[in-house]
Every structure is written in structure tokens, then in C-alpha cells.
Amino acid sequence: MDATDEKIERLVRSVLDAVDARLVTVREEIRALADEMEARLKAREEDLARQRALSAKPPVLIGAALVLPIGLIRQAAGQATVEVSQDGDTQVIELHVAEDDMGKVIGRNGSVAKALRTLLKVTSARTGEPVSLEIV
């Protein structure tokens, strides 16, 4: 083997060593990237599991309010009373008004009374407790 062949062989070995060293570096970088991605995946899966554990529970209605126009309240001041009683499992709300104000409370074609009863039905559906409104 002559000097030229030895130079070529040394050059080839140095190139191969450099390639091997670079391959080792690339493998380490790929392994580090894979480890980072696995950690991110695990964290994301844990986050999703926590989110699945949170359930959107329906709101619980603790109380209800009967809303009446302020003008009606002013007109009926001292003349209207509300009594709440129980009839079996149904809660009965009795609205006592003066004879002259009965039409205002009931409304044209019963529109105000229907609206009040609708509000009570929604409340009843959410609480699971039957409620009725009687206007007397």
C-alpha cells in the first residue's frame, strides 16, 4: 500500500468517524425530541382526563321570584297579598287581589296570568317540585 492509498484510507476513516459522530448526535437529538413529545402527550392526556372528570351539572334553582310590573304593584299596594301553602306535593301560591284589579292581574285574554304560570312551570321543572298559581 502506498502513501496515497493510506491517505485515502485515513480520509475515508475520518469522514466515516465524522459521520458516525454526527449520527450519534442526531440520534441523541431525536431521542430527546421523542422524550419531550412523550412528556407533552402524557401531560395532554392527563389534562383531557381532568376535563372529562368535570361534568357540566345542571344549575340548581334554590329560589324563585314572582316578577310583577311596578305600576301594578303601586296600584295594588296594600290591596294584594300572597299566601304560599302546600297541597300534597304541590306548592300552591295564592295571589289575592281586589276585585277592581283582577282584570289587570289576569291581563287581556289571560296573558299576564299565563306568563306568570309559565315562569312557575319553568321553576317547577328545574326544581322537580310542582307549583301552581291561583289568582283569587
Per residue in 25-61, pLDDT (tens digit) is 888 999 999 999 999 999 999 999 888 877 666 656 5
Query: Could you tell me what percent of the chain has a pLDDT over 90?
Result: 15
Whether 76 shows a pLDDT value over 60: the answer reads no
| Res. 72 pLDDT band, cuts 50 70 90 | low
Distance CA 105, CA 135 (A): 8
Q: Give the pLDDT score at 43.
A: 96
User: What are the boundaries of each domain within the chain?
Assistant: 1-56, 70-135
Report the predicted TM-score, pTM, of the whole model to 2 decimal places.
0.43
Instruction: Report percent pLDDT > 70 for the chain.
Output: 81
For residues 12 and 15, what is the distance between their CA atoms, to the nearest angstrom? 5
Q: Is the pLDDT of residue 116 over 70?
A: yes
| Residue carrying C-alpha cell 381532568 | 50
Count of helices and strands (H, E) across the chain: 4, 3
Burial 21-43 (b: 16+ CB within 10 A, else e): eeeeeeeeeeeeeeeeeeeeeee
CATH topology of domain 70-135: GMP Synthetase; Chain A, domain 3 (3.30.300)
Q: What is the mean pLDDT of residues 59-88?
A: 67
Cell of 21: 459522530
- What residues pair up with 92 in beta bridges, in sequence order? 85, 132
Over range 87-107, report the average pLDDT: 80
Q: CB of 63 within 8 A of CB of 101?
A: no
Q: Which helix (H) or strand (E) holds 131?
A: strand 131-135
